[in-house]
């Protein structure tokens, strides 16, 4: 954290102790929990002393200016454990939820009686009520964490939202828990769980996903087609023992047919040279595009890809053993002084490379 007005920079924990009003309830409690990693998780133990911090609710009939009060280093008394040599424990005052306060269930007369007892240096009644308030606030914190989609203080792989997103994306039932389609990182799928949750996969959804993932202009088109193999039992055989050989009814020449629904076209560009080369076979984005399409549409779909290299981006063709020119992809015959825009075409399918 940068220093302000020449003062030395403070840690987040120091700022929490100095300015608790600047923090949200669940955020402040989580930070205090991280300061004592060996403590019992809040709201799960029998002895409040063993937990990371103590929580106190409002017991005064006043409107607090913020949801949180002060943070103090003080022991939290319990009914089941002695207070002798009790180690210091952060204690957080919570104004937004409790037994007292203007919105609490305790009557005003009882709150006034508690304040009178405190003025007479008798805090036994307040300490007794704080045992219940600590438990109530701990359960409130656990409920907020359970249903909080984003937890900035928890590793993504351990968060509750991770399991939900994996279920929506279809990765929860994979053989390996963190498995993802080949060539694509699991987080790239989880980031677009809303699109994967819809069983009807649209080209518009794929365009949005691909443009967001690669950060490049991309557009897909339907009915680009692809070859589909005919099962051996459905192929035509001529002769006495033949089958499917009635001309005009079941006879088919060859072992495969063209299916218009088998593939889609993808136009990418115009591209700079570095982006263009990354989509060629052997490039990182070449594998990512294939994996992303396989995860969204299935590995059986053909991708007819057109890579459009922007005008002026064509590299000079040089014979080199280290980086040889690739005819038709990075080298063309008859290039003029100003290289024109170029287009490379390739066909991808599931786990296979360019055709």
Please write the tens of the pLDDT for every residue from 41-94: 888 888 888 888 888 888 877 787 888 888 887 544 444 444 444 447 888 888
Pick from 55, 58, 68: which is nearest to 131 by CA?
55
Are 113 and 170 within one domain?
no
Please write the tens of the pLDDT for every residue from 14-47: 888 888 888 888 888 888 888 888 888 888 888 8
Please write the tens of the pLDDT for every residue from 94-153: 888 888 877 778 888 888 888 888 889 888 888 888 888 989 999 999 888 877 766 655
**Residue 222: pLDDT band with limits 50, 70, 90:** very high
Are 310 and 330 within one domain?
yes
121 within domain boundaries: yes
Are 184 and 286 within one domain?
no
Cα–Cα distance for residue pair 48/79, rounded to 1 Å: 9
Cα–Cα distance for residue pair 279/305, rounded to 1 Å: 10
DSSP tag of 20:
G
Are 224 and 343 within one domain?
yes
Question: Residue 334 has what pLDDT?
Answer: 65
Strands 54-57 and 90-94 come out as parallel
Cβ of 60: how many Cβ atoms within 10 Å?
17
Cα–Cα distance for residue pair 206/301, rounded to 1 Å: 13
Please write the tens of the pLDDT for every residue from 243-290: 777 777 778 888 888 889 889 999 998 988 888 888 988 888 888 898
139 within domain boundaries: yes
Are 224 and 324 within one domain?
yes
Cα dihedral sign for 194, 197, 198, 201? positive
Residue 103 or 339, more confident: 103
Residue 333 or 273, more confident: 273
Determine the 3-state secondary structure of 327 from DSSP.
strand
* Span 164-190, average pLDDT: 67
Query: Which structural domain, as residue segments, surrounds residue 263?
Result: 216-229+258-349
């Amino acid at each position: 954290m940068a220093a302000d007005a020449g003062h030395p920079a403070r840690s987040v924990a120091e700022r929490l102790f100095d300015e608790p009003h600047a923090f949200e309830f669940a955020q402040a409690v989580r930070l205090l929990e991280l300061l004592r990693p060996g403590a019992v998780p809040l709201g799960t133990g029998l002895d409040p002393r063993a937990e990371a911090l103590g929580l106190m609710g409002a017991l005064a009939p006043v409107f607090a200016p913020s949801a949180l009060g002060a943070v103090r280093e003080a022991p939290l008394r319990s009914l089941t454990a002695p207070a002798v040599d009790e180690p210091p424990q952060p204690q957080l005052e919570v104004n937004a939820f409790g037994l007292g306060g203007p919105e609490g269930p305790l009557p005003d007369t009882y709150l006034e009686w508690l304040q009178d007892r405190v003025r007479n240096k008798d805090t036994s009644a307040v300490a007794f009520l704080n045992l219940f308030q600590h438990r109530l606030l701990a359960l409130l914190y656990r409920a907020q964490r359970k249903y909080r989609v984003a937890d900035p203080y928890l590793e993504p792989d351990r968060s509750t939202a991770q399991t939900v997103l994996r279920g929506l994306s279809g990765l929860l039932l994979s053989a390996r828990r963190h498995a993802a389609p080949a060539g694509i990182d699991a987080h790239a799928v989880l980031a677009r769980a809303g699109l994967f949750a819809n069983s009807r996969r649209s080209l518009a959804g794929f365009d949005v996903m691909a443009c967001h993932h690669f950060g490049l202009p991309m557009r897909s088109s339907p009915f680009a087609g692809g070859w589909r193999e005919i099962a051996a039992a459905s192929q035509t055989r001529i002769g006495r023992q033949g089958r499917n050989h009635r001309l005009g009814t079941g006879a088919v020449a060859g072992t495969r047919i063209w299916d218009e629904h088998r593939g889609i076209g993808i136009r990418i560009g115009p591209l700079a040279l570095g982006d263009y080369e990354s989509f060629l076979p052997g490039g990182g984005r070449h594998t990512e595009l294939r994996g992303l399409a396989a995860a969204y549409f299935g590995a059986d779909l053909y991708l007819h890809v057109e890579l459009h290299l922007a005008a002026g981006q064509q590299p000079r063709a040089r014979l080199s053993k280290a980086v040889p020119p690739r005819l038709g992809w990075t080298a063309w015959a008859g290039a003029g002084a100003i290289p024109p825009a170029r287009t490379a075409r390739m066909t991808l399918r599931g786990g296979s490379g360019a055709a």
